[in-house]
Amino acid sequence: MCGIVGYIGGKEAQSILISGLKRLEYRGYDSAGIVTIDKKAKTTLLRAKGKVAELDSKVATHQTSDTAGIGHTRWATHGEPNKRNAHPHHVGDIYLVHNGIIENYQDLKRTLAKHDYTFKSDTDSEVLTALIDYLYKDASSLLEAVSGALKMVVGAYGIALFSVKNPDEIIIARNGSPLIVGVAEDEVFIASDASALVGYTDRVIYLHDGEIGVCTREGIQLYDVDTQVVEAKVEKLELDLQSIQKEGFDHFLLKEIYDQPNSLRSTLSGRINPQTNSVKLGGLNMSDDELRDVRNIMIIGCGTAYYAGMMAGYFIEQFTDDVSVRSEIASELRYRSFHVPDNTVALIVSQSGETADTLACLEELKRRGVKCLGVVNAVGSTIAREVDGGVYVHVGAEISVASTKAFTSQVAAVTMFGLMVARAKGVSSKDLNTYINELDMLPGEIEAVLERSAGEIQQIAKKYAKYDHALYVGRDTHYPIALEGALKLKEVSYIQAEGYAAGELKHGPIALIDDRFFEVCYLQDNWLYEKTQSNIIEMNTRGAHAIVITDTDKRIAAEEVIRIKTKLELLTPLVFNVVSQLLAYYIAVARGNDVDQPRNLAKSVTVE
């Protein structure tokens, strides 16, 4: 949520900040702003409601040659999205941008009001700016003032700030909200997300919680919150320009749907081998004995990551009867009483690796001594660094707010972990081989669907774009896919969509069926074919507008039937899911929506 950028060096800062904000816009797009400072401490502050393009048009008429500055793109938490609440905030000598939430800002505001501070915005961030300004009056340095302020605040933050008293220094700090520093010759780049740094430098420093950085043209010096020097570890940024560009597609969402054969190949590469019947995840830090001892797997995530865990859990329970799997919504788990049986491994699933609720569960489970493994995409992210071991899904940058390629690869990664457990427990080679073969075939099967069916799905989408509501239904392994399909549709099309287990229809949801609804039904030619078909017939009887996604040639009574040819059996739901992704995409396009940046959402939910 929200994006931070900063630059100090020898180049013109405004265009670097704007380019960084454009790349971070998927993290929040309610308002945006930048401030730059020249060598004589003259500042130029520009802010605009709405997208970075609005801000960019202001820059065109207020160009400077300043070589230092900070910027922000906002996803509103405190205070409505308008120019007044946009960052950077300016109080006294201080300009500041902030990601996160300062929980005790009301108390601090009251205290600062007694010292004659008045506030122009409704934000917690402006209060933090004022606090630093206030402490700076009596501090020996800005670093000391920032350290003092951070000791007084409760909450999460990633901040970048400077004082007009020293135009040659930008200070940054992190607690619970990511910040990355890119270092190059005589310049330092600051960003809340690596994608803003790509193309500028590949030498990066990931800030840890509790660290403060003082950035100058000579480089960065890190400190802890007591201003003791901390050694910075410079790492190589593993992200290329290609993955943050649309490459000829109209939207990132479509590009990322089409990325899936290759992104999945990256996830599987070197990890499975059908010839040797092997599956091996390098970073688990678990011996075969430890894998054999696993009796319970908890899979934790939010949104699509939660559904991916649920999906993989269904597979894992199919191929080993010695393990129980439970999938948990992180925002629920963190606040409820729950018990962790012995011999449990927790899988923490997150594309961004920064989701606040998921991270909170990780911390709680670690506190209880549970072995936690990450299933993460963003290399170097907080979750990736905090877990005991894990697996990167390696899908490259996922820019569209609606997650697609991450889902497919998260399912594959968790399934591979389950296979490793099953193998350690002595599952038959034959059963193991079935799954490994299917995983190996999956990228090609998805490729075939994209090649053969996209045109047909686009046509069907045009017809259903007019509906207000949708039901997605499936049984067994198609239930998580129904949930994920409905989430995708609602996110990008704003059609109210619900996923249901098909067997639940008669227990309530079937009452909804009327001409305002269409239904998406997943019908695989397997042991539940007849049962699911009965559910479709029951819906048809009540006037459903059903779209059936199926792998069979059998006659099916439905308004539309999307037939998918696949050699898969077990992993078929993942292929059907690609159909749902395309359906959601084309419906959203037909409705004229901003599919990559849907309203009210942000890519990475770093606040609760």
**Site residues for ligand M6R per CB under 6 A:** 302-305, 350-352, 355, 358, 401-403, 487, 491, 604-605
Distances (CA, A) of 543 to 48, 497, 522, 528, 540: 48, 18, 18, 23, 5
Which CB atom, from 355 or from 532, has the smaller least distance to ligand M6R?
355
Measured CA to CA, the distance from residue 280 to residue 477 in angstroms comes to 24
- For residue 205, the SS3 value is strand
Least distance from C-beta 352 to ligand M6R, angstroms?
3
- For residue 196, the SS3 value is helix
Tokens of 300: 């934790």
How deeply is 595 buried, as exposed, middle or buried, from its count of CB atoms within 10 A (0-12, 13-18, 19+)?
buried
Which one-letter DSSP state was computed for residue 27?
Answer: G
Measured CA to CA, the distance from residue 599 to residue 607 in angstroms comes to 17
Are 417 and 350 within 8 A, CB to CB? no
Least distance from C-beta 304 to ligand M6R, angstroms?
3
Q: Please report the DSSP string for 282-346 in residue order.
A: GGG---HHHHHH--EEEEEESHHHHHHHHHHHHHHHHH-SS-EEEEEEHHHHTTS-----SSEEE
Question: Rounded to an integer, what is the distance from CA 562 to the centroid of its chain?
Answer: 30
Which CB atom, from 399 or from 487, has the smaller least distance to ligand M6R?
487
Measured CA to CA, the distance from residue 588 to residue 584 in angstroms comes to 6
Number of Cβ atoms within 10 Å of the Cβ of 589: 20
Least distance from C-beta 563 to ligand M6R, angstroms?
26
Distances (CA, A) of 490 to 107, 143, 495, 601: 38, 45, 5, 12
Which CB atom, from 544 or from 584, has the smaller least distance to ligand M6R?
584
Least distance from C-beta 19 to ligand M6R, angstroms?
23
Which CB atom, from 19 or from 580, has the smaller least distance to ligand M6R?
580
Tell me which amino acid residue 102 is: I
Measured CA to CA, the distance from residue 388 to residue 209 in angstroms comes to 18
Residue 387 phi, psi (nearest 5): -75, 165
Which CB atom, from 309 or from 418, has the smaller least distance to ligand M6R?
309
Least distance from C-beta 492 to ligand M6R, angstroms?
9
Which CB atom, from 351 or from 409, has the smaller least distance to ligand M6R?
351
Measured CA to CA, the distance from residue 582 to residue 260 in angstroms comes to 12
Tell me which amino acid residue 599 is: R
Which CB atom, from 163 or from 358, has the smaller least distance to ligand M6R?
358
Cite the active site residues. 2, 603
Least distance from C-beta 295 to ligand M6R, angstroms?
26
Least distance from C-beta 598 to ligand M6R, angstroms?
8
Which CB atom, from 432 or from 607, has the smaller least distance to ligand M6R?
607
Measured CA to CA, the distance from residue 605 to residue 288 in angstroms comes to 35
3-state secondary structure 207-258: CCCCEEEEEECCEEEEECCCCCEECCCCEECCCCHHHHCCCCCCCHHHHHHH
Which CB atom, from 127 or from 487, has the smaller least distance to ligand M6R?
487
Kind of pairing between the strands at 344-350 and 324-329: unpaired
Tokens of 360: 């909170």
Are 174 and 4 within 8 A, CB to CB? no
Least distance from C-beta 346 to ligand M6R, angstroms?
15
- Which residue in the shown chain puts its C-beta closest to ligand M6R? 303
Least distance from C-beta 70 to ligand M6R, angstroms?
25
Q: How crowded is the C-beta side of 287, counted as CA atoms within 13 Å? A: 3
Least distance from C-beta 188 to ligand M6R, angstroms?
27
Q: Is the dihedral of CA 301, 411, 602, 522 positive or negative?
A: negative
Which has the closest alpha carbon to 393: 293, 566, 401, 404?
404
Which CB atom, from 73 or from 350, has the smaller least distance to ligand M6R?
350
Question: Rounded to an integer, what is the distance from CA 564 to the centroid of its chain?
Answer: 29
Which residues, 6 or more positions from 78, have their beta carbon under 8 angstroms from its beta carbon? 85, 101, 105, 122, 123, 124, 125
Number of Cβ atoms within 10 Å of the Cβ of 115: 9
Least distance from C-beta 401 to ligand M6R, angstroms?
5
Which CB atom, from 484 or from 519, has the smaller least distance to ligand M6R?
484
